[in-house]
A and B are shown apart, each in its own frame.
Chain A
């Protein structure tokens, strides 16, 4: 694969969190008994007509706003093709006049992925293929449930700015976070309320133009998204290195076989005969609708990461990769507010972030409701040497699970910082136990300080205050010099 660049564009379908479907009053709910959430409109009965759901429009404009899109006047079209799970045998979708265009999504690393469009459309029903061991082409018959038919979707189409499987996963993860944060969708991939198709192509490193792309479908998790892109890219590279050519086609990802296969769709299935939906009128977002969409839009993950970075580092360039990861973790788990609150109470922000992104991150639900005062107090005890780092972590895990006052929990666990005499004694004991290293240390090999400190901590089972010990060691060396 070396010498090749993997270019990916992503199409994400997200079900909007409305109470009812896009064009009728049937509940928008997952998991109900088959065909119990249907009416003349979403069953496509003769004579029925669609009426647009105001909330769906607001949510679609909301995600458009969060993705920095331009919101434009739009019109619904009919996409005509026959498929049994589509009640009218056409899908109502915003075609060449989508409501949101030209935005971007900022990834945790800071890279911006262009958003071409985010448009509203209706979902289809669900087809279950029976017989033939689940393989669609061998199936004997199919059963259709229309509960999902007419559920509102927003289809978010990225530009081919994504490079490789890793970045594709980051993009979908981030987009999911934004959808959830804005309340636009619940983002549940396992329930199919978030669905991803990947347009994958490869090109020689350094070359400008785009290679022929294949659209990979049936990606039901971030894991299969990554695997599918890696497999598909490898397939295309192998093909081209063998002097072959990539055909533009739609390919189906098979999770079990770990490979993509051509869906050999018929030529006419691409002739959708779009035309403006005559049963609906123009959608022209006015100030009221636009205000509605932007109303109480929460702070987005990218901004929260920026805000947190500002707290822990004076300048962006001071944010090491490690700290950036801690920031991303804290924000994605919603622990950034804990860091801010404890810092406001005097805790060391870096330390708070480290503990939040590591120990607290193990039990995020508990961490989100942890009393910032308790967290700040604990971090204070660690900073002043009242507790060692090891002890501090144990106390944190304890109060995350059972709650309680850090000081009491600490003493309950028998964590008493060693007194000065005891520390002196411990250092003396280590000096005696390791005469050779001790001599070389006094002789000027400062790097041995770490070894000796480690020995003292071990001897005192971590109860000694590292700073105090270090100071003591330094003093002894000075002393022997003098």
Chain B
């Protein structure tokens, strides 16, 4: 079967799709409705087998596209994302459109408001085509922990797309949409981006408002773009970022504008390759990082290996901090105000039955893990120690950034793994985020750039890490890597086939 390639603005996959669409629509050369029509066709044709979407909002999308076309006709500028089809991870609140977090417990709930990032996308002229599948409440690394069934990897339908933003990553990889939003608590944007051969960005904590993002772990969650190109990711980040008074943890800063630095190159940039993160990665992933390091050196960067072993302890701290916050964030799903209710003779029984029926096993595991870690007698041993380890990780980063402007590592220890391979072994699944978690603990930005093909001809992503608010340096390195990348390792791909 063939990929829905035509709506990608011409060139074979590479290049800035969204930005090209937007400029064509703003120039009146292409209509938003046309673009949308092709996107919907592609989804109708192929999403049955991929299951990227929990919901395709055809009517809302058509109305939005027509509104954009009317504004162009009226000589107005619909904005930097004019007519660009966008997919939203289904844990982002959308007014009047169900938001499920791929959980049964939110059955029937329709948010009465839009997430800040959604309002900003719409204000920029974007056309939201639907809500994408995820691991329930974003807890997972394969999108298999979804109450609505797994999403499949467009590169190989027998493999996972990664997670938890697997639906968004696969939707971009399949060419359904040029850009999508995901959320990243421990790697949930970067890891699926790597496994699907697309670009994924987790911004500095506080750069993008969390208002309207259904919380998993509040001190770690950040929303970010998944895109077919580094430039598209930069444009979307600039649209959704910037201070928001509805989020107390939102930084009082303008959105980082990274598009203008993409051509600057990395001349004189200090790049540290995280040696400790090469030890347990697959040969394909290690090879990709080494090749990426050479590419940056060739472009004039000063590259050296650095050892920051503390970072690997982040995983343990993360699996205390994230479940602890989640156990509290998910308490509200109690069958009283919205969503599922399973009746019981008293309110406590009703709560317990509702949550037992509404949550999947992974959510239950993490809620219990977090409850236990915070409970009397264990707090210091687990939560207290985890916070100290978190501080150690932040310090270790600070030391590393005295010698480097950005750091380099594999995004994931392996390429996309087969469906079902890790579902029986939670710990094995957790290890998929070993290299992405430290940036969340420290609140730093990091991005995954598709760079090579690895085991089984599957895409391999390289992770660029930067200190807080180091987005511009990160994007400069990302752009150089994109230019040097093996084109066979990047999406969009012909759906269901290998390159």
Contacts and interface: CB of A to CB of B under 8 A. Distances in A.
Given A52-B248, A90-B331, A46 B111 contact: yes
B96 to A, nearest CB: 14
Interface in A240-280: 270-271, 273-275, 278-280
B325 A89 contact: no
A47 B248 contact: no
Which residue of B113, B246, B332, B383 has the most chain A CB atoms within 10 A of its CB atom?
B332
B325 A278 contact: yes
B41 interface: no
Interface residues of B, number: 43
B331 A89 contact: yes
Contacts of B115: 47
Interface in B247-275: 247-249
A210 interface: no
Interface in A130-159: 142, 144
Contacts of B383: 275
Given A46-B109, A278-B219, A82 B212 contact: no
A278 B331 contact: no
Nearest to A83: B347
Nearest to A90: B328
B332 A89 contact: yes
Which residue of A43, A47, A48, A90 has the most chain B CB atoms within 10 A of its CB atom?
A47
Given A90-B331, A273-B328, A43 B337 contact: yes
B374 A273 contact: yes
A88 B212 CA distance: 15
Contacts of A46: 93, 99, 101, 106, 109, 111, 214-215, 332
Nearest to B114: A47
Interface in A41-87: 43-52, 78, 80, 82, 84, 87
Contacts of B214: 46-47
Interface in B303-343: 324-325, 327-328, 331-332, 334, 336-338
A278 B247 CA distance: 11
Nearest to B101: A46
A278 B324 CA distance: 11
A82 B331 contact: yes
A211 to B, nearest CB: 25
A49 B244 CA distance: 11
Q: Is the interface of B mostly helix, strand, loop or mixed?
A: loop
Given A142-B347, A273-B371, A50 B111 contact: no
Interface in B192-227: 210-215, 217-219
Given A45-B112, A46-B332, A87-B332, A279 B218 contact: yes
B147 to A, nearest CB: 15
Contacts of B351: 82
A41 to B, nearest CB: 9
Interface string A304-339: 000000000000000000000000000000000000
Contacts of B246: 49, 51
Given A82-B348, A89-B334, A278-B325, A47 B112 contact: no
B245 interface: yes
A421 B109 CA distance: 95
Contacts, number: 96
Contacts of B219: 278
Contact of B374 (A48, A80, A281): A80
Q: Is the interface of A mostly helix, strand, loop or mixed?
A: loop
A80 B328 contact: yes
Contacts of B101: 46
Contacts of B93: 46-47
A419 interface: no
Contact of B376 (A88, A144, A271): A271
Interface string B75-116: 000000000000000001100000101000010010111010
B248 A280 contact: yes
B218 A278 contact: yes
Contact of A275 (B109, B212, B249, B328): B328
B388 to A, nearest CB: 14
B215 A47 contact: yes
B374 A275 contact: yes
A94 B461 CA distance: 44
Interface residues of A, number: 30
A439 interface: no
Interface in B341-379: 347-348, 351, 371, 374-376, 379
Given A47-B115, A271-B375, A279-B249, A88 B331 contact: yes
A281 B111 contact: no
A142 to B, nearest CB: 7
Given A87-B337, A90-B331, A50 B248 contact: yes
Nearest to A273: B374
Contacts of B249: 278-281
Contacts of A43: 337
A40 interface: yes
B44 to A, nearest CB: 29
Contacts of A278: 217-219, 249, 325
Contacts of A89: 331-332, 334
A273 B380 CA distance: 11
Nearest to A142: B347
Which residue of A48, A78, A84, A278 has the most chain B CB atoms within 10 A of its CB atom?
A278
Interface string B284-300: 00000000000000000
A84 B374 contact: no
A82 B334 contact: yes
Contacts of A80: 327-328, 331, 374
B33 to A, nearest CB: 30
B111 A45 contact: yes
A286 to B, nearest CB: 16
B332 A78 contact: no
Contacts of B324: 275
A281 B212 CA distance: 18
A90 B248 CA distance: 18
A470 B217 CA distance: 87
Nearest to A82: B351
Nearest to B373: A273
Contacts of A40: 111-113
A47 B214 CA distance: 4
Interface string B51-78: 0000000000000000000000000000
B338 A47 contact: no
B389 to A, nearest CB: 16
A49 B101 CA distance: 17
Contacts of A274: 374
Contacts of A142: 347
Nearest to A144: B336
Nearest to B99: A46
A48 B247 CA distance: 9
A197 B467 CA distance: 50
Interface string A19-44: 00000000000000000000010011
B299 to A, nearest CB: 39
Contacts of B325: 275, 278
Contact of A49 (B248, B375, B376): B248
B334 to A, nearest CB: 6
Contact of B111 (A44, A47, A144): A47
Contacts of A52: 248
Interface string A465-481: 00000000000000000
Given A88-B331, A271-B376, 13 more contacts: A43-B337, A46-B93, A46-B106, A46-B111, A47-B215, A49-B247, A49-B248, A51-B245, A51-B248, A88-B332, A89-B334, A275-B328, A275-B374
5 contacts: A47-B99, A80-B374, A88-B331, A88-B332, A273-B379
Interface of B: 92-93, 99, 101, 106, 109, 111-113, 115, 210-215, 217-219, 245-249, 324-325, 327-328, 331-332, 334, 336-338, 347-348, 351, 371, 374-376, 379, 383
By Cβ-Cβ distance, the 8 closest A-B pairs, closest first, are A89-B331, A273-B374, A278-B218, A278-B219, A46-B214, A47-B93, A47-B212, A44-B332
